[in-house]
Structure 1
Amino acid sequence: MNSSYQGGVVDEETDTFQTLSQTIGSNIKKISHNVSSMSKMVNQLQTPQDSQELRKQLRQIQNYTQKLAKDTSTMLMELMKMPTDHPAQKLTRDRLSDEYLATLNAFQATQRTAAQKSKEDVRKVKAQNINIGDPFAMGGNKELVKMGETNTRKQEQMTMQKERELQELEQRERDIRQLENDIMDVNQIFKNLGTVIHDQGAIVDSIESSVEYTSQNVESAVQEIQQAGNYKNKLRKKKVYLTLILIVIISIILIIIFHN
């Protein structure tokens, strides 16, 4: 009776593990596919293919992928906390963790590129439209009075154009702020996962931290080699100085002997 109950618990945990693993694996593929689509869209920014519709699609897929990444992170942390008595489960858990972190790195890199290009666009628009904050500043009243009906219509069209530019600029600035918040959220996901995986006794390094760690090791090795080389040079110089001093002393002694 007791044994049967325990077996039922084990089977239930195994089923939960498999369900979570399959869902996480499916989400990782979706995120990876979305990142690929986002990357193509980001590459079209600031090109003739750039448009408001493109930016709208990019914003939508970025928001969806951000939510999917958060949900997947929650499930992965739940999976990491589950007991893994079977080696196959541990391998599956570690593989999913590595794949997810690599995909998250790619997602964050695409976000940063999109944010950087959006900031460049905003700076250009502001530089080209000094009076963008005042779209109705088109001239004095005296000039407006002298204008005919045609010129007045052109003036209204210019004003409407300025209003659209102002709205687009405000939307881009909102998108930038949202992207920056999303990037911070991804950083928090990295920290949370790192804490959970560290508690499980595993080592997790993102691509950036791995490169930084390798660079530090190389710099440390170079410094040690330089220190060893400096020590050898000092030792060699010391031997030369001692030899010269010994020669001088012997020469003085010989001169004194021959002189006497």
Structure 2
Amino acid sequence: MAAYGRGEFDGFSSYQAGASRGSEGGSEFNRLSNTVASNIQKITQNVSQIQRLVGVIGTAQDSQDSRDRVHQLTHYTNQLAKETNVDLKSFARLHVSPSDQSKWKMQKDRYTEEFSNALTNFQTTQRTAAEKEKASVARARAHSSTTKYPFEDEPQEDFTSPGFSQTKQVLQMEEDVDLEMIQERENAIKQLERDITDVNHIFKDLGMLVHEQGDMLDSIEANVETAQIQVHEGNKQLASASTYQKKSRRKKCIIIVILLVVLIFLILIIWAATKSD
């Protein structure tokens, strides 16, 4: 079985490194947004490729090479899903400016939905691969058991013939190879099951993130309602102040008019008294 890390999947690591280097110059908002979007797209592409490879398991086109590719690509995609989960949580907890709030929320909601859909398809494919691998191993073990003692019905005297010893040695070697391959497949199945468990943990994180963001949105809505109440109260206070100011001006005008009337009255009295003298 091929070892993880190299081969035709080497481009996977290069893809990740390139995405990271290309986004270093931008802001944290743009870096995380670009990384999450690219990773989700890559996960979706990988799942489609894994589905095609899993489809040939147990058919005439099946081969150890195709199974190795399934295991390698599944493991890589699992690691990418973990990294995407971390980046998405960081993106969802960013402190963005008011001008970016609408864009941030729209992208966060879209990424969460797309990532969840990609994980669902990935886990379904993982389980299909594990079930097919288990069925294949069971058939291989059954076949190994039936071919382990092919000479049980042969006469006892034939066991001492020169050809028998050589044939038995060849069959033993083939049996050892078959058992080693079966063991490798069983180990691959265990890795698949561990990867499925990892995806389950990611789903739990995603659920907690959605709940957390829901609480945050409730808090934002409460703050908006409080701000609206405060604005309303402020408007009422401004209206009251305006009314008070109008009343104050009216009182001043009335007082001025009264003073003018009194002043005119006094002037008339003084003028009349002066004229009579």
SS at match of 1:70: helix
In structure 2, give the amino acid aligned to 1:163: D
Map 1:33-112 onto structure 2 (within 5 A).
33-84=45-96, 85=98, 86-112=101-127
SS at match of 1:82: coil
Partner of 1:219: none
Residues 92-133 of structure 1 deviation map (CA, whole Å, 9 limit, x = unaligned): 11111111111111110100000000111122222233379x
Partner of 1:162: 175
Residues 49-79 of structure 1 deviation map (CA, whole Å, 9 limit, x = unaligned): 1111111111111111111111111111111
Partner of 1:28: 40
Runs (4+) of structure 1 exceeding 4 A deviation are 135-140, 142-145
In structure 2, give the amino acid aligned to 1:176: I
Partner of 1:188: 201
Partner of 2:11: none
TM-superposed CA distance for 1:82, in Å, is 1.4
Residues 145-186 of structure 1 deviation map (CA, whole Å, 9 limit, x = unaligned): 844333322211211111111111111111111111111110
TM-score, with normalisation over the residues of structure 1? Answer: 0.66
Q: Which runs of 5+ in 2 are unaligned?
A: 1-25, 216-277
Counterparts of 1:143 and 1:103 in 2: how far apart (Å)?
A: 62
The answer (yes or no) to whether the contact 2:158–2:164 under 8 Å persists in 1 is: no
Counterparts of 1:143 and 1:17 in 2: how far apart (Å)?
A: 80
Counterparts of 2:160 and 2:86 in 1: how far apart (Å)?
A: 64
Map 1:1-260 onto structure 2 (within 5 A).
15-84=27-96, 85=98, 86-130=101-145, 143=156, 146-201=159-214
Counterparts of 2:169 and 2:115 in 1: how far apart (Å)?
A: 53
When the two chains are superposed, the root-mean-square deviation of aligned CA atoms in Å is: 2.5
TM-score, with normalisation over the residues of structure 2? Answer: 0.62
TM-superposed CA distance for 1:139, in Å, is 6.2
Counterparts of 1:139 and 1:147 in 2: how far apart (Å)?
A: 14
**Bigger radius of gyration among the two:** 2
Q: Which runs of 5+ in 1 are unaligned?
A: 1-13, 203-260
SS at match of 2:201: helix
Partner of 1:237: none
Counterparts of 1:139 and 1:159 in 2: how far apart (Å)?
A: 15
Counterparts of 1:72 and 1:29 in 2: how far apart (Å)?
A: 11
Counterparts of 1:78 and 1:178 in 2: how far apart (Å)?
A: 28
Counterparts of 2:177 and 2:91 in 1: how far apart (Å)?
A: 49
Matched length:
187
